[in-house]
A and B are shown apart, each in its own frame.
Chain A
Amino acid sequence: MLLTITTTHQPATDLGYLLHKNPARLQTLELTAGQAHIFYPEATAARCTVALLLDIDPIGLVRSQKGAENFALAQYVNDRPYVASSFLSTALAKAFNTAMNGTCQDRPDLPDALLPLEATVAVVPAADSAQLHRLFAPLGYEIETEAHPLDPSRPEWGNSPYYTLRLRHSGLRLRDLLAHLYVLVPVLDNNKHYYIGPAEADKLLLRGGEWLPRHPEREFITRRYLRFAEYVNPTLARLLASEPEAQEEAPAAEAAALAPNDLQLPAAGQKLHDQRLDRVAEVVRQLGAKRVLDLGCGEGKLVRRLLQNPQVEHVLALDVSWRELERAGQRLHLAEMPPRQRERLTLAQGSVLYHDARLAGYDAAAVVEVIEHLDENRLAAFEQVVFARAQPGAVLVTTPNADYNQRYETLSAGDFRHSDHRFEWTRAQFAAWAEGVAGRHGYRVRLEPLGPEAAEVGAPSQLAVFER
């Protein structure tokens, strides 16, 4: 990874004073996983360039990050040595600390001087070159991007997500350029090599406080930079506190709906899921079910709703994923739950494809957005487990309505809403399946739309209520 900064300010060698780095020497800094080399490939009065060459050691990375869950960091085959990432921000802060803070003992006038600057980063990861423009253009840069093919021998694979980025500015304080890179590079990379704690927000405010509130992409930048929702909203609020006009534009609901990797449309998707769960909880209430199964409970959003219902005596919530169960345990504060409430809930690992004696004797089972994650030919086993063996008094099954997919602009025809969906059924397909199941196992079934209905295509999701 290489960053060069060039100025044609006269004398250009002032850059050395500003950066507090002698143009005549190669300097090397030790970083947590590698080294940063600082040197000047050219240093004349007319033109001076400083280079920051990051030499990240992937072996050191793997060895220092034992058991790290982040896939990219756990591999020796890793783009980290070659791309601009949070490692660059760390290196900037370490190498050019004084410059970033706007101090220069020898030439106190320089930090505030507006300089002609040109920066080149080889390479930055980005969704596309438009994204680079969106992030840097509002800051007054002239932008040049160079795309790189994924593999020149496989033209059909197209371009890689890496760009050589060139930024030019006719008059800018050096510390602003450094601050922009410091904040925006990790935002582009969307990955951080270190643990993100509450202090991260302070860094963002320190380096971005002056320009970020006016940046049209401030929310995107804040979200990406902080990565975790719980840090985002308060920070946005702090960031915008001094910007009364911008505050109005910040829709808190959307920010709350943030889900960086959710393929479902963020805000709408979130709301739909809540609607779906509310409706399922309501039907459970109408059915008067006392003992309820939540098959595929995920992080426990439905469980929470079910426990709020006083007539529910017990909820057995199962999920096949241990991590989801752990998350559910945390979200529901299982460890601190008062004993009476704790008795009403059993959270356990289970699979809807294996007979499970624990499932017998329940009044209702909720199977929310689960079946589409099973291969279609495994549905027979699911049917056996739930309808033939467990035989709850009622079964509530929800699944996406494929008819509605055409309403999603981002979804091309034939695509599924989620990469793990094995199928998405039209209303007719779901009805046919549901009626078959009901007939084979002595249930009667009714279907209803879930979510706001649109003409022709119905609602985004659908619910089947089976009763014995």
Chain B
Amino acid sequence: MPQDTLKLPELSLVLLIGTSGAGKSTFARRLFQATEIVSSDQCRALVADDENDQAATTDAFALLHYLVGLRLKRGLLTVVDATNVQPEARKTLVQLARDYHVLPTAIILDVPDRLAEDRNRQRAERQHLGRHVVPQQRQQLRRSLKTLKQEGFRHIYHLRGPEEVDAVQTIQRDPLYSNRKQDSGPFDIIGDVHGCYHELVQLLTELGYAVKEQAVADARDLGVRVTRRRDVTSCVSPLNDVETADNATNLSNHETQDIASLQPPRRVLFLGDLVDRGPASPQVLRLVMSMVRDGLALCVPGNHDIKLLRYLGGKQVNEQHGFAETVQQLAAESDTFKSQVRQFLDGLVSHYVLDGGKLVVAHAGMREEMQGRGSGAVRAFALFGETTGEIDEFGLPVRYNWAAEYRGRATVVYGHTPVPAAEWLNNTIDIDTGCVFGGRLTALRYPERELVSVPAAQVYSEPVRPLDYLRRLAEANNEKSTTENHLSAQQQHDDLLDIRDVTGKQIIKTRLLPSVTIREENAVAALEVMSRFALNPKWLLYLPPTMSPSETSALPDMLEHPAEAFDYFRRQGLERVVCEEKHMGSRVVVVLARDEDAARRRFGVVGEGLGKVYTRTGRNFFTDTNLEAAFLARLQDALTASNFWERFNTEWLCLDAELLPWSAKAQQLIKDQYAAVAAAATAALPKAVAVLAQATARGLDGVEALLARTTARQRAAQHYAEAYRRYCWPVDSLADLRLAPFHLLATEGRTYFDKDHAWHMETLRAVCLADESLLRATPYRVVHLQDIADVEAATQWWLDLTAAGGEGMVMKPYDFIPSGQKTLVQPALKCRGREYLRIIYGPDYLLPGNLERLSERNVKSKRNLALREFALGVEGLERFVAGAPLREVHQCVFGVLALESEAVDPRL
């Protein structure tokens, strides 16, 4: 009976095997998508313009292998349409499948030579085939049949004759056992138990499960039953509301009655190594098997479990590493139980990919490129992790810390290597806290990422290598990390960023914009700025976005005016905006910890002070460390005095602010450029006016107009000098500096992008009031865009501010990030004053003929840039407060810096 359905793993490398003319291409086209087929004939055509050019075979197969490799790397099922009758041809392909942890499948199209030859004769391009070709291929195929299994093919389909080939109607693609992406928990993931039954029961109870031991009535009965207590589905502290086990036994009823429809029930995920070393391995097995059978738990195997499986299968195993205890404990158990165990262990899948690909569990971890794939290497990795091949002083294999290089999006939870405490590193966590060695039995609640653990009742086994060995080793290697300076695993890892995370073209996914692209040439520029000028990247949580001005004013003698900004926000459908006075100083970000200890804990920085004040390019604002320390201490005092730390329950904060005066940072620029231009103008122009006056007195034609123009330029130069002088004052000490904070960006565990700007202004005003000689609260007003009087009053306010020499104002949506908009709204627009703009557009910008030319400016690219930078800045800070590894924060900060190198009119 010919098969009409062939089953394949959804990710496999399918080799069609058959002689020339066997019908492979037709078969492939009939049953697979065109893009899934990589054909040798086609590759030959691509490299030689001729499908049959045998001289091109080497290059054609190089291309074929390259294409296959890329597809497999990207996790795509691939069909190789080539004769594949020679073992050496298959060997390369099987190796590719192994390299990418994909299962190889063979489909043999075994048709009589006559038929194949007939077909070849009908095809013009196959006329050249010698008579010997097909029989020779067929001979090779015959020989191959015996060796395919040995060669590593998992699925082999031998279709004998054209009837069987034609009978196949469907290819059924089976998901790998490891693929449980539909299953999104919630889970309680439990590390290596190693026969610690007592602690396991305690932990389960703590997690909100009830364990009930029952008398064994039946051989299949495991004698232990675990149920959820009714409060468990919602993740409340299990100690609040302990229900009796009786009440919980009938669990299915409870679920349907109470909360089942609201939230899926919690389940346990065991990370393997259930047995060995500990006092009650069979009892642990019994409990876990019972939970798995009841659908209350999933389990992946550990190396110890697999060793037990081999033992139960009659293989010789080494009794070391606590196996002897297990053997002893099992001696008392029935054969039925042992065969149940064998069956259970045999059915375990190396690792699971869960929750839409966001969670991966495996006993010893899983590299990104192996997740959800199947190969011997994947299974070995899941069981044993990665070792360097070296042996340490205790005779144990030296483990390679794959997690240090992990860049995957999926959270990986694993065990296998006992650690003193479970610590996150690059979105992975080892929760084997060495219970059997007298440590703790630890569970990770997912998705809450909460750790729950119980201490071991006693030391059941002496570790060969002390539990904190690795940490002590690290400390011995690094003078800095003495105990009191201890940095977390992530922080230590973050001491060094990897260049591949920032160079080349980067596409960054952000909450506010689906993706922000950083072009390679901009990354090139940012790498230089970051490397040469920026602070220790651990301080760089956020870089502010650039700010666009309002569109050019419609008024005849103005370049900018609030009317256009009001119009912009009105067009965006906003009802309210906030107008804030714009300070002319240096834009700074302030990151400040409550004390050096907090700086170490939260930023992983030791010996660099309480915090940093840095510019828009990540450069330290202060060059004088004493002034920096004094400044930060004063700010800290103000925060303490205004009760900030308590109010926000934090030990650090991040502020967006303006630091005055402009001359504090820009002194050199002011002297070299701004003052110099004024000096040259005020020296040269009066002399020109004098000779023009002399010439006018002579009655020369046309000189009068030139005199008028030059006199106007002389006045303009004077106004220009006055304009820049307003923003300069000598900075000799702290007393000359002013900080005007306008955004409270973040504190421990949260950002404040959800708060409106009035909240930010008022919150920061409270801090400013605590030290009014250093801190300046920013005057602002809330404007209802539909209220004409409101808008007029704000416009008048701007006119007054700018007439008095103010830079102007910044207009922002009332909400930091307005919701309900189709597109992202500009986070802020600036409206700069008529006088101020002289220092941007030059002394003469208001002279006849100049303003007309300057008004042709395009704010579009600046605005587009502002949105991308805003999205990146918000994303970076949100990643930081969520505890992301530094490289993920740095990627955003680096991105802002890179975008800043895009060519945009610098005067906007």
Whether A160 lies near B675 (C-beta < 8 A) is yes
A190 interfacial by beta-carbon distance below 8 Å = no
Whether A151 lies near B536 (C-beta < 8 A) is no
Q: A151-B675, A384-B496 are in contact. Are A82 and B683 (CB under 8 A)?
A: yes
Interface on A for B, CB 8 Å cutoff? 1-2, 4, 24-26, 28, 37, 39-43, 49, 51, 53, 55, 58-59, 63, 67, 75-79, 81-83, 120, 122-123, 125, 148-151, 153-154, 156-157, 160-162, 164, 320-322, 349-357, 373, 375, 377-378, 380-381, 384-385, 389, 420, 440
Q: What are the 4 A-B residue pairs with the smallest beta carbon separation, nearest first?
A: A160-B679, A41-B694, A76-B842, A82-B680
Q: A42-B694, A377-B536 are in contact. Are A1 and B684 (CB under 8 A)?
A: yes
Residue B528 contacts which of A53, A77, A320 (CB distance < 8 angstroms)?
A320
Whether A157 lies near B675 (C-beta < 8 A) is yes
Give A378 to B845 CA distance when docked, in angstroms: 44
Q: A25-B701, A26-B695, A40-B698 are in contact. Are A154 and B728 (CB under 8 A)?
A: yes
Q: A24-B700, A161-B676, A320-B527 are in contact. Are A123 and B502 (CB under 8 A)?
A: no
> At the interface with chain A, which of B197-205, B685-693, B815-823?
B685-693
Whether A82 lies near B700 (C-beta < 8 A) is no
Q: A41-B695, A150-B671, A351-B527 are in contact. Are A381 and B496 (CB under 8 A)?
A: yes
The chain B residue with its CB closest to the CB of A359 is B499
Give A7 to B530 CA distance when docked, in angstroms: 59
Known: A26-B703, A41-B695. 17 other contacts (CB 8 A): A2-B687, A2-B691, A28-B702, A76-B842, A77-B841, A77-B842, A79-B681, A151-B725, A320-B528, A320-B531, A322-B524, A350-B499, A352-B531, A354-B498, A354-B499, A375-B620, A381-B495
A150 CB contacts on chain B under 8 angstroms: 671, 675-676, 679
Q: A153-B725, A381-B496 are in contact. Are A82 and B695 (CB under 8 A)?
A: no
Give A1 to B503 CA distance when docked, in angstroms: 48
The chain B residue with its CB closest to the CB of A325 is B524
Whether A354 lies near B496 (C-beta < 8 A) is yes
Whether B528 lies near A357 (C-beta < 8 A) is no
Whether A82 lies near B677 (C-beta < 8 A) is yes
Q: A157-B671, A160-B679 are in contact. Are A353 and B684 (CB under 8 A)?
A: no
B700 CB contacts on chain A under 8 angstroms: 24-26, 39-40
Whether B680 lies near A162 (C-beta < 8 A) is yes
Looking at A37, A43, A77, the one whose CB has the most chain B CB atoms below 10 A away is A77
Give A321 to B532 CA distance when docked, in angstroms: 9
B194 to chain A, nearest CB (A): 35
Residue B673 contacts which of A42, A77, A148 (CB distance < 8 angstroms)?
A77
Give A150 to B673 CA distance when docked, in angstroms: 10
Give A162 to B679 CA distance when docked, in angstroms: 8
Residue A67 contacts which of B527, B685, B841, B903 (CB distance < 8 angstroms)?
B903
Size range of the chain B interface in the assembly: 35 or more
A123 CB contacts on chain B under 8 angstroms: 680, 683-684
A373 CB contacts on chain B under 8 angstroms: 532
In terms of DSSP, what is the predominant structure of the interface of chain B?
helix
A63 CB contacts on chain B under 8 angstroms: 853
B400 to chain A, nearest CB (A): 14
Q: A122-B684, A151-B721, A322-B528 are in contact. Are A41 and B676 (CB under 8 A)?
A: no
B690 to chain A, nearest CB (A): 8
A290 to chain B, nearest CB (A): 24
The chain A residue with its CB closest to the CB of B696 is A41
Whether B703 lies near A39 (C-beta < 8 A) is yes
B804 interfacial by beta-carbon distance below 8 Å = no
Give A21 to B394 CA distance when docked, in angstroms: 99
A58 CB contacts on chain B under 8 angstroms: 842, 844
The chain A residue with its CB closest to the CB of B704 is A26
Give A37 to B700 CA distance when docked, in angstroms: 13
A440 CB contacts on chain B under 8 angstroms: 477-479
Give A153 to B679 CA distance when docked, in angstroms: 11
Give A463 to B706 CA distance when docked, in angstroms: 64
A28 CB contacts on chain B under 8 angstroms: 702
B128 interfacial by beta-carbon distance below 8 Å = no
Give A357 to B687 CA distance when docked, in angstroms: 64
Q: A77-B677, A351-B527, A351-B531 are in contact. Are A377 and B499 (CB under 8 A)?
A: no
**CB contact list, B601-621 vs A, under 8 A:** 607-608, 620
Give A4 to B687 CA distance when docked, in angstroms: 10
Give A389 to B500 CA distance when docked, in angstroms: 15
B688 CB contacts on chain A under 8 angstroms: 2, 53, 122
A377 CB contacts on chain B under 8 angstroms: 536, 607-608
The chain A residue with its CB closest to the CB of B843 is A77
Whether B495 lies near A384 (C-beta < 8 A) is yes
Whether B698 lies near A356 (C-beta < 8 A) is no
Give A381 to B674 CA distance when docked, in angstroms: 38
Whether A164 lies near B687 (C-beta < 8 A) is yes
A320 CB contacts on chain B under 8 angstroms: 527-528, 531-532
Residue B677 contacts which of A26, A78, A389 (CB distance < 8 angstroms)?
A78
Whether B680 lies near A77 (C-beta < 8 A) is no
Whether A349 lies near B683 (C-beta < 8 A) is no
B620 CB contacts on chain A under 8 angstroms: 375
A151 CB contacts on chain B under 8 angstroms: 675, 678-679, 721, 725
The chain B residue with its CB closest to the CB of A164 is B683
B525 interfacial by beta-carbon distance below 8 Å = yes
Whether B687 lies near A122 (C-beta < 8 A) is yes
Whether B677 lies near A356 (C-beta < 8 A) is no
B683 CB contacts on chain A under 8 angstroms: 82, 122-123, 148, 160, 162, 164
A164 CB contacts on chain B under 8 angstroms: 683, 687
A149 CB contacts on chain B under 8 angstroms: 679
Whether A160 lies near B698 (C-beta < 8 A) is no
What are 16 A-B pairs with beta-carbon distances under 8 A?
A26-B695, A26-B702, A28-B702, A40-B700, A58-B844, A151-B675, A151-B679, A161-B676, A162-B679, A354-B497, A354-B502, A375-B620, A377-B536, A378-B536, A381-B496, A384-B495
Residue B499 contacts which of A25, A43, A351, A420 (CB distance < 8 angstroms)?
A351
B770 interfacial by beta-carbon distance below 8 Å = no
Whether A79 lies near B608 (C-beta < 8 A) is no
Residue A59 contacts which of B498, B499, B730, B850 (CB distance < 8 angstroms)?
B850
B459 interfacial by beta-carbon distance below 8 Å = no
Give A63 to B478 CA distance when docked, in angstroms: 56
Looking at A82, A375, A381, A384, the one whose CB has the most chain B CB atoms below 10 A away is A82
B854 interfacial by beta-carbon distance below 8 Å = yes
Give A83 to B682 CA distance when docked, in angstroms: 11
Give A77 to B844 CA distance when docked, in angstroms: 9
**CB contact list, B785-811 vs A, under 8 A:** none
Give A55 to B714 CA distance when docked, in angstroms: 13
Q: A76-B845, A82-B677 are in contact. Are A355 and B684 (CB under 8 A)?
A: no
Provide the B443-482 mask, 1 if CB < 8 A to any CB of A, else 0. 0000000000000000000000000000000000111000
B839 interfacial by beta-carbon distance below 8 Å = yes
Q: A79-B677, A354-B502 are in contact. Are A53 and B525 (CB under 8 A)?
A: no
Whether A355 lies near B498 (C-beta < 8 A) is yes
Residue B496 contacts which of A162, A321, A355 (CB distance < 8 angstroms)?
A355
B554 interfacial by beta-carbon distance below 8 Å = no
B680 CB contacts on chain A under 8 angstroms: 79, 82-83, 123, 125, 148, 160, 162
Give A151 to B677 CA distance when docked, in angstroms: 10
Whether A53 lies near B706 (C-beta < 8 A) is yes
Looking at A24, A41, A380, A385, the one whose CB has the most chain B CB atoms below 10 A away is A41
A82 CB contacts on chain B under 8 angstroms: 677, 680-681, 683-685
B259 to chain A, nearest CB (A): 48
B676 to chain A, nearest CB (A): 6
Give A75 to B842 CA distance when docked, in angstroms: 8
B675 CB contacts on chain A under 8 angstroms: 150-151, 154, 157, 160
The chain B residue with its CB closest to the CB of A37 is B706
B840 interfacial by beta-carbon distance below 8 Å = yes
Provide the B517-559 mask, 1 if CB < 8 A to any CB of A, else 0. 0000000110110111001100000000000000000000000
Whether B842 lies near A4 (C-beta < 8 A) is no
B695 CB contacts on chain A under 8 angstroms: 26, 39-41, 51
